[in-house]
Amino acid sequence: MSNASLANPGRVDWVDIGKGFCIIMVVMLHSTGGVEEAVGAQGWLRPVIEFARPFRMPDFFLIAGLFLSRRIDRPWPEYIDKKVLHFAYFYVLWMGIQVALKTGVKTGIADIPGDFLYAMVQPVGALWFIYLLPIFFVVTKLLRPVHPAIVLIAAAIMQSTAVGTGWIILDEFAIRFVFFYAGYALAPAVFAFATRVGEYPWIAAAGLTVWALVNGALVHMGLAAKPGFSLVLGAVGGLAVVSMAVMLTRTRISEPLRYCGENSIVIFLAFFLPMATTRIVLLKTGIVTDVGTMSLIVTCAAIFGSLILFWITRGTRLGFLFARPAWARYEPTRRLAAAE
């Protein structure tokens, strides 16, 4: 099985499929939570949300680290541009949009500057992922002289002993860094694992079945978030998503998942807009009363809505919403940007 995507030769199909699956789970989490909070009751999607909780973000960070070795030895200026300024631009832009809309509607325009400055320290909503990625990139490059085994052990201990401080970035760093660093340090092993899954799909399918039963049981017993359990379930769940992604590569469902994964940052940035709009419309009209069904509709609208916004703004004056302009790049890379 070829690792190269037929649609985009420079990409890897199963990586994008895995990212697509995870971004859908992230959107479903926020969509379902918003609907359930507004209605005051849980729906039939809640068990799906809880089942995915142990591996949803660990796998996202695992995948985010897989290709870091290609750039980690680049000079600091170029590295900062690609791995820090890139995400900082989108975070500031979209957090500004999000705060302006939410604060403007809820409390008024006068509170927007204060809420925006607060969001520069304490991210709001799903954008903490965009905030945290540059920190991971910088820390991993700084730790380059340290043996990977030492970093992995230290990160695993940090993940298992992390104490919640209330500061999202510090707390999420403590419990997520081990998965990101594992993606970077163990990338050859992860790709070798994916190759084996492609060679022995029936064995992989049996393994996925066992994993699903164990993961579901531990979630049901309330153990999935406990120290030690969360580390193991995050790591094993990440490999389970890799297995599933590899097995889906040649199926019809793989194409929409692959496309969502390829454009996961677009969905991450913009899904809150169609999500909130659809939720409000459904609640106001009352055309759908079942909480689970409403959550599913909001999830689908959030995903498609963000992609539609991407399609209609691409190549227009609003293209800066999803494509970083030259002025937002470090000077030596601007000529490269112009050529892209």
Closest Cα to residue 204, out of 164, 248, 169? 248
The pLDDT of residue 102: 87
d(CA 9, CA 214): 37
Tokens coding 322: 């999803």
- pLDDT value of position 107: 77
Which residue positions in the chain have pLDDT lower than 70? 1-10, 331-340
The residues near 274 (Cβ < 8 Å, ≥ 6 apart) are 301, 302, 304, 305, 306, 308, 309
Look at residue 328 in the predicted model and tell me its pLDDT.
87
- Least Cα distance to 182 among 199, 200, 216, 159 occurs for 159
User: Which 3 state secondary structure label does DSSP give 12?
Assistant: strand
Within 8 A by CB and 6+ apart from 5, the residues are 11, 12, 13, 16, 258
> What is the rounded distance in angstroms from the CA atom of residue 36 to the CA atom of residue 3?
40
State residue 10's pLDDT score.
60
**Is the separation of the CB atoms in 26 and 126 below 8 Å?**
yes
Q: What is the pLDDT of residue 163?
A: 78
Length of the chain: 340
What is the pLDDT at residue 162?
Answer: 76
Per-residue model confidence as pLDDT tens digits over 33-80: 999 999 999 999 999 999 999 999 999 999 999 999 999 999 999 999
Residue 257: name the closest of 68, 22, 20, 31 by CA: 20
pLDDT for res 217: 97
Pair 289, 35: CB distance under 8 Å: no
Q: Give, in order, the Cα–Cα distances in Å from 66 to each of 42, 57, 301.
A: 36, 15, 30
